[in-house]
Amino acid sequence: MRSAVALLFLGLACLVAARKHENALNHILRRQFGDSANALDGSEQWFTQQLDHYDPFNAKTWQQLYFVNADNYRPGGPVFMHIGGEGPISSHYVYNMSFIPLAQKYGALVLALEHRYYGRSHPTPDMSTENMKWLSSQQALADLANFQMAMSKQFKLPAGTRWVTVGGSYPGCLSAFARIKYPHLFYASTSVSAPVRAKLDFLEYNEVVAASLGDQCTAAVRNATAQIDAMLNNADGRAWLYKTIPTCTLPISYEDTQVFFDSLSGLINGVVQYNGEQSGVSTITTICQTMLQPNSDPLTQLLAVLRQLMKEEGASCMDANLNTMLAQLSSSDWAVGGDMRAWTAQTCNEFGFYQTTTSAKTPYATGRLTLDYSLLQCQQGFGKMYANPPPVDWTNQYYGSDHPDEARIVFSNGSIDPWHALGVTSDLSQEMPAVYIKGTAHCADMSQPHPTDSAELVAGRQKVLDTLDAWLSHK
Protein backbone atom coordinates (compact mmCIF):
# COMPACT_ATOMS: atom_id res chain seq x y z
CA MET A 1 0.00 0.00 0.00
CA ARG A 2 1.13 3.51 -0.78
CA SER A 3 -0.57 6.45 0.86
CA ALA A 4 -0.58 10.20 0.56
CA VAL A 5 -0.45 10.40 4.34
CA ALA A 6 3.29 10.58 3.83
CA LEU A 7 5.91 9.54 1.35
CA LEU A 8 8.25 10.29 4.23
CA PHE A 9 7.53 6.69 5.24
CA LEU A 10 8.79 5.52 1.84
CA GLY A 11 12.37 6.13 2.84
CA LEU A 12 12.19 4.21 6.09
CA ALA A 13 14.01 6.99 7.89
CA CYS A 14 16.60 7.58 5.18
CA LEU A 15 18.15 4.13 5.20
CA VAL A 16 21.25 4.02 3.03
CA ALA A 17 22.52 0.94 1.25
CA ALA A 18 25.91 0.06 2.65
CA ARG A 19 27.89 -3.03 3.53
CA LYS A 20 28.25 -4.06 7.15
CA HIS A 21 31.59 -3.22 8.73
CA GLU A 22 33.00 -5.35 11.52
CA ASN A 23 36.11 -4.89 13.68
CA ALA A 24 37.44 -6.68 16.73
CA LEU A 25 37.64 -4.43 19.76
CA ASN A 26 40.91 -3.97 21.59
CA HIS A 27 41.56 -4.78 25.23
CA ILE A 28 41.60 -1.13 26.24
CA LEU A 29 37.95 -0.73 25.26
CA ARG A 30 37.01 -3.90 27.07
CA ARG A 31 38.71 -2.66 30.23
CA GLN A 32 36.93 0.67 29.81
CA PHE A 33 33.46 -0.82 29.37
CA GLY A 34 33.72 -4.00 31.41
CA ASP A 35 30.57 -6.12 31.20
CA SER A 36 29.21 -3.92 28.39
CA ALA A 37 31.92 -5.10 25.99
CA ASN A 38 29.61 -7.61 24.31
CA ALA A 39 27.52 -4.69 22.99
CA LEU A 40 30.40 -3.15 21.09
CA ASP A 41 30.68 -5.39 18.05
CA GLY A 42 27.79 -3.96 16.02
CA SER A 43 25.45 -6.82 16.89
CA GLU A 44 21.88 -6.09 17.94
CA GLN A 45 21.30 -5.12 21.55
CA TRP A 46 18.10 -4.64 23.56
CA PHE A 47 17.36 -1.91 26.08
CA THR A 48 14.65 -2.14 28.73
CA GLN A 49 12.57 0.97 28.09
CA GLN A 50 9.64 2.50 29.98
CA LEU A 51 6.27 2.26 28.29
CA ASP A 52 4.89 5.60 29.48
CA HIS A 53 7.35 8.30 30.52
CA TYR A 54 4.53 10.62 31.58
CA ASP A 55 2.79 8.31 34.04
CA PRO A 56 4.93 7.68 37.14
CA PHE A 57 2.51 4.94 38.27
CA ASN A 58 2.88 2.90 35.07
CA ALA A 59 5.74 0.46 35.67
CA LYS A 60 5.40 -1.42 32.38
CA THR A 61 8.53 -1.82 30.27
CA TRP A 62 9.45 -3.22 26.86
CA GLN A 63 12.54 -4.09 24.80
CA GLN A 64 13.97 -1.50 22.39
CA LEU A 65 16.56 -2.36 19.73
CA TYR A 66 19.87 -0.50 19.55
CA PHE A 67 23.32 -0.82 18.01
CA VAL A 68 26.80 0.25 19.15
CA ASN A 69 30.01 1.02 17.27
CA ALA A 70 32.98 1.64 19.57
CA ASP A 71 35.71 0.91 17.03
CA ASN A 72 37.00 4.47 17.25
CA TYR A 73 36.16 5.25 20.84
CA ARG A 74 38.74 6.88 23.07
CA PRO A 75 37.96 7.57 26.73
CA GLY A 76 36.55 11.08 26.99
CA GLY A 77 35.37 11.13 23.38
CA PRO A 78 31.89 12.33 22.39
CA VAL A 79 28.85 10.21 21.50
CA PHE A 80 27.06 10.30 18.17
CA MET A 81 23.43 9.30 18.74
CA HIS A 82 21.77 8.20 15.48
CA ILE A 83 17.99 8.34 15.89
CA GLY A 84 15.73 5.78 14.26
CA GLY A 85 12.42 6.73 12.72
CA GLU A 86 9.50 5.30 10.78
CA GLY A 87 11.20 2.02 9.88
CA PRO A 88 13.70 -0.56 11.10
CA ILE A 89 17.31 0.24 11.93
CA SER A 90 20.40 -1.89 11.40
CA SER A 91 24.13 -1.81 12.07
CA HIS A 92 24.46 0.48 9.01
CA TYR A 93 23.25 3.27 11.27
CA VAL A 94 26.44 3.11 13.32
CA TYR A 95 28.96 2.24 10.61
CA ASN A 96 28.08 3.66 7.20
CA MET A 97 27.06 7.27 7.61
CA SER A 98 28.55 10.63 6.68
CA PHE A 99 29.53 11.53 10.25
CA ILE A 100 31.85 8.52 10.72
CA PRO A 101 35.01 10.54 9.83
CA LEU A 102 34.21 12.87 12.74
CA ALA A 103 33.68 9.88 15.01
CA GLN A 104 37.15 8.71 14.00
CA LYS A 105 38.71 12.13 14.52
CA TYR A 106 37.25 12.69 17.98
CA GLY A 107 37.27 9.10 19.21
CA ALA A 108 33.48 8.94 19.45
CA LEU A 109 31.17 6.20 20.59
CA VAL A 110 28.36 5.73 18.03
CA LEU A 111 24.89 4.54 19.05
CA ALA A 112 21.63 4.01 17.16
CA LEU A 113 18.23 3.54 18.78
CA GLU A 114 15.15 2.20 17.00
CA HIS A 115 11.94 4.22 17.38
CA ARG A 116 9.15 2.72 19.45
CA TYR A 117 6.47 0.93 17.35
CA TYR A 118 8.76 0.59 14.31
CA GLY A 119 10.98 -2.19 13.06
CA ARG A 120 11.13 -4.79 15.83
CA SER A 121 10.73 -2.37 18.76
CA HIS A 122 7.21 -3.33 19.75
CA PRO A 123 6.09 -1.90 23.11
CA THR A 124 2.71 -3.65 23.10
CA PRO A 125 1.39 -7.11 22.15
CA ASP A 126 -0.47 -5.76 19.13
CA MET A 127 -1.34 -2.54 17.29
CA SER A 128 -4.91 -2.15 18.50
CA THR A 129 -6.07 1.45 18.68
CA GLU A 130 -5.97 1.29 22.47
CA ASN A 131 -2.35 0.15 22.36
CA MET A 132 -1.31 2.97 20.03
CA LYS A 133 -1.78 5.67 22.66
CA TRP A 134 1.89 5.51 23.66
CA LEU A 135 3.08 6.36 20.15
CA SER A 136 4.16 10.00 19.83
CA SER A 137 7.24 12.09 19.19
CA GLN A 138 7.12 13.18 22.84
CA GLN A 139 7.38 9.58 24.07
CA ALA A 140 10.12 8.90 21.50
CA LEU A 141 12.16 11.86 22.73
CA ALA A 142 11.72 10.69 26.31
CA ASP A 143 12.99 7.29 25.13
CA LEU A 144 16.12 9.04 23.86
CA ALA A 145 16.62 10.90 27.12
CA ASN A 146 16.17 7.76 29.20
CA PHE A 147 18.52 5.85 26.88
CA GLN A 148 21.13 8.62 27.07
CA MET A 149 21.23 8.50 30.85
CA ALA A 150 21.31 4.71 30.98
CA MET A 151 24.09 4.40 28.36
CA SER A 152 26.15 7.03 30.16
CA LYS A 153 26.12 4.77 33.22
CA GLN A 154 26.45 1.50 31.33
CA PHE A 155 29.52 2.63 29.39
CA LYS A 156 30.94 4.63 32.31
CA LEU A 157 31.13 7.82 30.29
CA PRO A 158 32.75 10.72 32.15
CA ALA A 159 30.69 13.70 33.26
CA GLY A 160 30.48 16.33 30.54
CA THR A 161 30.58 13.84 27.64
CA ARG A 162 29.18 15.60 24.58
CA TRP A 163 26.27 13.88 22.85
CA VAL A 164 25.48 14.79 19.24
CA THR A 165 22.16 13.67 17.79
CA VAL A 166 21.90 12.68 14.13
CA GLY A 167 18.78 12.05 12.06
CA GLY A 168 17.30 12.39 8.62
CA SER A 169 13.67 12.90 7.55
CA TYR A 170 11.31 12.41 10.54
CA PRO A 171 14.33 11.42 12.68
CA GLY A 172 15.86 14.70 11.49
CA CYS A 173 12.96 16.42 13.20
CA LEU A 174 13.57 14.35 16.33
CA SER A 175 17.25 15.24 16.25
CA ALA A 176 16.46 18.96 16.32
CA PHE A 177 13.65 18.44 18.85
CA ALA A 178 15.99 16.50 21.17
CA ARG A 179 18.36 19.46 21.30
CA ILE A 180 15.43 21.85 21.84
CA LYS A 181 13.67 19.84 24.57
CA TYR A 182 16.70 18.23 26.27
CA PRO A 183 19.56 20.74 25.84
CA HIS A 184 21.18 19.54 29.06
CA LEU A 185 21.58 16.03 27.61
CA PHE A 186 22.39 16.70 23.95
CA TYR A 187 25.17 19.11 23.05
CA ALA A 188 24.53 19.51 19.32
CA SER A 189 22.32 18.17 16.54
CA THR A 190 22.31 17.66 12.81
CA SER A 191 18.85 17.74 11.24
CA VAL A 192 18.80 16.38 7.67
CA SER A 193 15.85 16.75 5.26
CA ALA A 194 13.60 17.37 8.24
CA PRO A 195 10.05 18.74 7.82
CA VAL A 196 10.11 20.51 11.17
CA ARG A 197 6.99 22.56 10.35
CA ALA A 198 3.87 20.44 10.73
CA LYS A 199 1.21 21.23 8.14
CA LEU A 200 -2.23 19.80 7.52
CA ASP A 201 -2.58 20.39 3.76
CA PHE A 202 0.92 19.85 2.42
CA LEU A 203 0.12 21.01 -1.11
CA GLU A 204 3.69 22.28 -1.51
CA TYR A 205 4.94 18.70 -1.77
CA ASN A 206 3.56 18.23 -5.27
CA GLU A 207 4.51 21.79 -6.20
CA VAL A 208 8.15 20.90 -5.55
CA VAL A 209 7.69 17.66 -7.52
CA ALA A 210 6.54 19.79 -10.47
CA ALA A 211 9.51 22.14 -10.11
CA SER A 212 11.91 19.19 -9.90
CA LEU A 213 10.44 17.58 -13.03
CA GLY A 214 10.70 20.85 -14.95
CA ASP A 215 8.11 22.73 -17.00
CA GLN A 216 8.03 20.51 -20.09
CA CYS A 217 7.96 17.22 -18.23
CA THR A 218 5.33 18.52 -15.81
CA ALA A 219 3.16 19.65 -18.72
CA ALA A 220 3.35 16.16 -20.24
CA VAL A 221 2.45 14.50 -16.92
CA ARG A 222 -0.46 16.91 -16.49
CA ASN A 223 -1.69 16.14 -20.01
CA ALA A 224 -1.59 12.41 -19.36
CA THR A 225 -3.15 12.56 -15.91
CA ALA A 226 -5.94 14.78 -17.22
CA GLN A 227 -6.82 12.02 -19.67
CA ILE A 228 -6.70 9.43 -16.89
CA ASP A 229 -8.82 11.59 -14.61
CA ALA A 230 -11.48 11.78 -17.32
CA MET A 231 -11.38 8.00 -17.84
CA LEU A 232 -12.00 7.40 -14.15
CA ASN A 233 -15.36 9.13 -14.46
CA ASN A 234 -16.90 6.28 -16.47
CA ALA A 235 -17.01 2.50 -16.26
CA ASP A 236 -15.41 1.91 -19.66
CA GLY A 237 -12.45 4.12 -18.81
CA ARG A 238 -11.90 2.44 -15.45
CA ALA A 239 -12.07 -1.00 -17.09
CA TRP A 240 -9.49 0.08 -19.69
CA LEU A 241 -7.10 1.30 -17.03
CA TYR A 242 -7.64 -1.90 -15.02
CA LYS A 243 -6.46 -3.98 -17.98
CA THR A 244 -3.84 -1.62 -19.38
CA ILE A 245 -1.78 -0.51 -16.38
CA PRO A 246 -2.93 -2.93 -14.77
CA THR A 247 -4.56 -2.16 -11.43
CA CYS A 248 -4.87 -4.90 -8.81
CA THR A 249 -8.65 -4.61 -8.78
CA LEU A 250 -11.20 -2.81 -10.91
CA PRO A 251 -11.79 0.71 -9.48
CA ILE A 252 -15.50 1.03 -8.84
CA SER A 253 -16.21 3.72 -6.27
CA TYR A 254 -14.99 7.31 -6.27
CA GLU A 255 -12.85 6.42 -3.25
CA ASP A 256 -11.22 3.64 -5.30
CA THR A 257 -10.21 6.22 -7.90
CA GLN A 258 -8.66 8.30 -5.13
CA VAL A 259 -6.56 5.31 -4.09
CA PHE A 260 -5.62 4.85 -7.75
CA PHE A 261 -4.29 8.40 -8.07
CA ASP A 262 -2.60 8.04 -4.70
CA SER A 263 -0.73 5.01 -6.07
CA LEU A 264 0.06 6.72 -9.38
CA SER A 265 1.45 9.88 -7.83
CA GLY A 266 3.29 7.86 -5.20
CA LEU A 267 5.31 6.02 -7.84
CA ILE A 268 6.49 9.24 -9.49
CA ASN A 269 6.94 11.14 -6.24
CA GLY A 270 9.14 8.36 -4.88
CA VAL A 271 11.51 8.80 -7.82
CA VAL A 272 11.68 12.56 -7.30
CA GLN A 273 12.15 12.32 -3.54
CA TYR A 274 15.09 9.91 -3.81
CA ASN A 275 16.39 10.94 -7.22
CA GLY A 276 19.72 9.35 -8.09
CA GLU A 277 20.35 7.79 -4.67
CA GLN A 278 20.15 4.21 -5.93
CA SER A 279 21.80 2.90 -9.06
CA GLY A 280 19.88 0.94 -11.68
CA VAL A 281 16.48 2.53 -11.09
CA SER A 282 14.52 5.34 -12.70
CA THR A 283 15.44 8.96 -12.10
CA ILE A 284 13.88 12.31 -12.93
CA THR A 285 15.98 12.31 -16.10
CA THR A 286 14.85 8.89 -17.29
CA ILE A 287 11.18 9.59 -16.51
CA CYS A 288 11.24 12.86 -18.40
CA GLN A 289 13.12 11.36 -21.32
CA THR A 290 10.27 8.88 -21.68
CA MET A 291 7.56 11.51 -21.22
CA LEU A 292 9.12 13.83 -23.80
CA GLN A 293 9.72 11.37 -26.62
CA PRO A 294 9.20 13.20 -29.95
CA ASN A 295 5.81 12.71 -31.63
CA SER A 296 4.53 10.63 -28.74
CA ASP A 297 1.27 10.63 -26.82
CA PRO A 298 1.77 11.69 -23.17
CA LEU A 299 -0.73 9.09 -21.94
CA THR A 300 1.08 6.26 -23.70
CA GLN A 301 4.39 7.46 -22.31
CA LEU A 302 3.08 7.84 -18.76
CA LEU A 303 1.69 4.30 -18.83
CA ALA A 304 5.15 3.09 -19.88
CA VAL A 305 6.69 5.03 -16.98
CA LEU A 306 4.24 3.55 -14.47
CA ARG A 307 4.81 -0.01 -15.65
CA GLN A 308 8.57 0.49 -15.39
CA LEU A 309 8.29 1.88 -11.86
CA MET A 310 6.06 -1.01 -10.79
CA LYS A 311 8.62 -3.42 -12.23
CA GLU A 312 11.38 -1.77 -10.22
CA GLU A 313 9.31 -2.15 -7.06
CA GLY A 314 8.49 -5.77 -7.85
CA ALA A 315 4.77 -4.98 -8.12
CA SER A 316 2.63 -6.70 -10.73
CA CYS A 317 -0.27 -4.27 -10.35
CA MET A 318 -1.24 -0.90 -8.88
CA ASP A 319 -3.44 -0.48 -5.80
CA ALA A 320 -6.89 0.90 -6.58
CA ASN A 321 -9.21 -0.31 -3.83
CA LEU A 322 -10.14 1.61 -0.70
CA ASN A 323 -11.28 -1.43 1.28
CA THR A 324 -7.99 -3.24 0.66
CA MET A 325 -6.02 -0.21 1.76
CA LEU A 326 -8.10 0.30 4.90
CA ALA A 327 -7.92 -3.40 5.79
CA GLN A 328 -4.13 -3.19 5.96
CA LEU A 329 -4.13 0.17 7.68
CA SER A 330 -6.67 -0.96 10.30
CA SER A 331 -5.03 -4.26 11.18
CA SER A 332 -3.81 -4.63 14.75
CA ASP A 333 -1.40 -7.39 13.65
CA TRP A 334 2.22 -6.17 13.66
CA ALA A 335 2.89 -8.25 10.54
CA VAL A 336 0.06 -6.59 8.58
CA GLY A 337 -0.29 -2.97 9.67
CA GLY A 338 3.28 -2.59 10.85
CA ASP A 339 5.30 0.55 10.17
CA MET A 340 2.68 2.06 7.87
CA ARG A 341 -0.04 1.90 10.52
CA ALA A 342 2.32 3.42 13.07
CA TRP A 343 3.40 6.27 10.79
CA THR A 344 -0.18 6.98 9.71
CA ALA A 345 -1.09 7.26 13.40
CA GLN A 346 1.63 9.85 13.93
CA THR A 347 0.47 11.94 10.99
CA CYS A 348 -3.08 11.74 12.32
CA ASN A 349 -2.02 12.67 15.84
CA GLU A 350 0.75 15.25 15.35
CA PHE A 351 1.98 16.27 11.92
CA GLY A 352 -0.52 16.09 9.07
CA PHE A 353 1.79 16.18 6.02
CA TYR A 354 -1.12 15.28 3.73
CA GLN A 355 -0.02 15.57 0.11
CA THR A 356 -2.97 16.92 -1.85
CA THR A 357 -3.44 17.83 -5.50
CA THR A 358 -5.40 20.98 -4.74
CA SER A 359 -2.69 23.38 -5.94
CA ALA A 360 -2.75 24.72 -9.50
CA LYS A 361 0.98 23.93 -9.64
CA THR A 362 0.62 20.19 -9.04
CA PRO A 363 1.86 17.89 -11.84
CA TYR A 364 -1.27 15.76 -11.45
CA ALA A 365 -4.39 17.08 -13.19
CA THR A 366 -6.89 15.72 -10.72
CA GLY A 367 -8.73 17.03 -7.70
CA ARG A 368 -9.15 13.58 -6.20
CA LEU A 369 -6.35 13.75 -3.65
CA THR A 370 -8.03 16.03 -1.16
CA LEU A 371 -7.50 16.68 2.52
CA ASP A 372 -10.71 14.76 3.26
CA TYR A 373 -9.27 11.69 1.53
CA SER A 374 -6.31 11.61 3.93
CA LEU A 375 -8.39 12.41 7.01
CA LEU A 376 -10.71 9.54 6.08
CA GLN A 377 -7.77 7.19 6.58
CA CYS A 378 -7.31 8.52 10.11
CA GLN A 379 -10.99 8.09 10.91
CA GLN A 380 -11.38 4.66 9.33
CA GLY A 381 -8.04 3.35 10.55
CA PHE A 382 -8.32 4.44 14.18
CA GLY A 383 -11.95 5.37 14.82
CA LYS A 384 -12.78 7.96 17.47
CA MET A 385 -9.15 8.24 18.53
CA TYR A 386 -8.46 10.45 15.50
CA ALA A 387 -11.92 11.75 14.70
CA ASN A 388 -10.54 15.30 14.60
CA PRO A 389 -7.76 16.64 12.34
CA PRO A 390 -4.25 16.53 13.82
CA PRO A 391 -3.41 19.55 16.02
CA VAL A 392 -0.57 20.84 13.85
CA ASP A 393 -0.67 24.31 15.40
CA TRP A 394 -0.01 22.79 18.83
CA THR A 395 2.84 20.67 17.41
CA ASN A 396 4.47 23.74 15.88
CA GLN A 397 4.07 25.76 19.05
CA TYR A 398 5.50 22.94 21.17
CA TYR A 399 8.64 22.41 19.06
CA GLY A 400 9.14 25.83 17.50
CA SER A 401 8.30 24.84 13.92
CA ASP A 402 10.88 26.17 11.42
CA HIS A 403 12.05 28.96 13.73
CA PRO A 404 13.11 27.34 17.04
CA ASP A 405 15.12 29.27 19.61
CA GLU A 406 18.16 27.16 20.42
CA ALA A 407 21.80 26.77 19.43
CA ARG A 408 24.12 24.21 17.82
CA ILE A 409 21.59 22.72 15.39
CA VAL A 410 22.66 22.45 11.75
CA PHE A 411 19.87 21.93 9.21
CA SER A 412 20.46 20.55 5.71
CA ASN A 413 18.05 20.12 2.80
CA GLY A 414 18.16 19.31 -0.91
CA SER A 415 16.40 21.49 -3.48
CA ILE A 416 14.87 18.52 -5.32
CA ASP A 417 13.47 16.99 -2.14
CA PRO A 418 9.79 17.96 -1.74
CA TRP A 419 10.14 17.88 2.05
CA HIS A 420 12.43 20.91 2.04
CA ALA A 421 9.27 23.02 1.74
CA LEU A 422 8.63 22.35 5.46
CA GLY A 423 12.26 22.55 6.53
CA VAL A 424 14.80 25.19 7.48
CA THR A 425 16.58 26.34 4.33
CA SER A 426 18.01 29.69 5.51
CA ASP A 427 20.26 30.41 8.49
CA LEU A 428 18.31 31.09 11.68
CA SER A 429 21.41 32.32 13.49
CA GLN A 430 25.15 31.79 13.54
CA GLU A 431 24.58 28.85 15.86
CA MET A 432 21.71 27.44 13.78
CA PRO A 433 22.94 27.43 10.18
CA ALA A 434 21.12 25.98 7.21
CA VAL A 435 22.78 24.11 4.35
CA TYR A 436 20.62 24.18 1.21
CA ILE A 437 22.06 21.85 -1.42
CA LYS A 438 21.08 22.53 -5.02
CA GLY A 439 20.12 19.54 -7.13
CA THR A 440 20.04 16.94 -4.36
CA ALA A 441 17.24 14.81 -2.98
CA HIS A 442 16.00 13.47 0.35
CA CYS A 443 18.76 12.73 2.90
CA ALA A 444 21.45 12.54 0.20
CA ASP A 445 24.07 14.19 2.40
CA MET A 446 23.68 11.58 5.16
CA SER A 447 25.39 8.90 3.10
CA GLN A 448 29.13 8.47 2.81
CA PRO A 449 30.82 10.08 -0.22
CA HIS A 450 30.45 8.41 -3.61
CA PRO A 451 32.40 9.10 -6.81
CA THR A 452 29.21 10.13 -8.61
CA ASP A 453 28.30 12.80 -6.04
CA SER A 454 27.77 16.25 -7.53
CA ALA A 455 30.04 19.11 -6.53
CA GLU A 456 27.09 20.72 -4.72
CA LEU A 457 26.43 17.55 -2.69
CA VAL A 458 30.10 17.17 -1.80
CA ALA A 459 30.29 20.78 -0.64
CA GLY A 460 27.01 20.59 1.28
CA ARG A 461 27.94 17.42 3.13
CA GLN A 462 31.32 18.90 4.03
CA LYS A 463 29.73 22.10 5.32
CA VAL A 464 27.58 20.11 7.74
CA LEU A 465 30.62 18.15 8.94
CA ASP A 466 32.71 21.30 9.26
CA THR A 467 29.99 22.88 11.39
CA LEU A 468 29.91 19.91 13.77
CA ASP A 469 33.70 19.84 13.75
CA ALA A 470 33.87 23.47 14.86
CA TRP A 471 31.41 22.87 17.69
CA LEU A 472 33.21 19.75 18.91
CA SER A 473 36.60 21.48 18.80
CA HIS A 474 35.47 24.00 21.42
CA LYS A 475 36.69 23.06 24.88
Q: What confidence score (pLDDT) does residue 39 get?
A: 53
Specify whether 417 is catalytic.
yes
**Domain-by-domain residue ranges, the chain?**
1-475
Q: What confidence score (pLDDT) does residue 171 get?
A: 98
What CA–CA distance (Å, rounded) separates 127 from 121? 12
Q: Is 1-475 CATH 3.40.50.1820?
A: yes
Among 3, 36, 91, 169, the active-site one is 169
Among 71, 319, 339, 417, the active-site one is 417
Q: What confidence score (pLDDT) does residue 279 get?
A: 85
- Whole-number CA gyration radius for the chain: 23
Q: Is the separation of the CB atoms in 318 and 306 below 8 Å?
A: yes
For 259-334, list the strands marked E by DSSP: none
Q: What confidence score (pLDDT) does residue 33 get?
A: 45
pTM score, whole prediction: 0.93
Pairing of strands 199-201, 61-69: unpaired
One-letter amino acid for residue 473 of the chain: S
Among 191, 442, 445, 447, the active-site one is 442
Q: What confidence score (pLDDT) does residue 231 get?
A: 97
Q: Is the separation of the CB atoms in 14 and 170 below 8 Å?
A: no
Q: What confidence score (pLDDT) does residue 14 get?
A: 65
Q: What confidence score (pLDDT) does residue 16 get?
A: 42
Specify whether 442 is catalytic.
yes
Cβ of 454: how many Cβ atoms within 10 Å? 14
Q: What is the mean pLDDT of each run of 10 residues along the chain (475 residues)?
A: 46 42 34 47 89 96 97 96 97 94 96 98 97 97 98 96 98 98 98 98 98 98 98 97 96 97 97 92 97 95 97 95 95 95 97 96 97 96 91 98 97 98 98 97 94 96 98 89
Cβ of 340: how many Cβ atoms within 10 Å? 22
Q: What confidence score (pLDDT) does residue 6 get?
A: 45
**SS3 category, 85:** coil
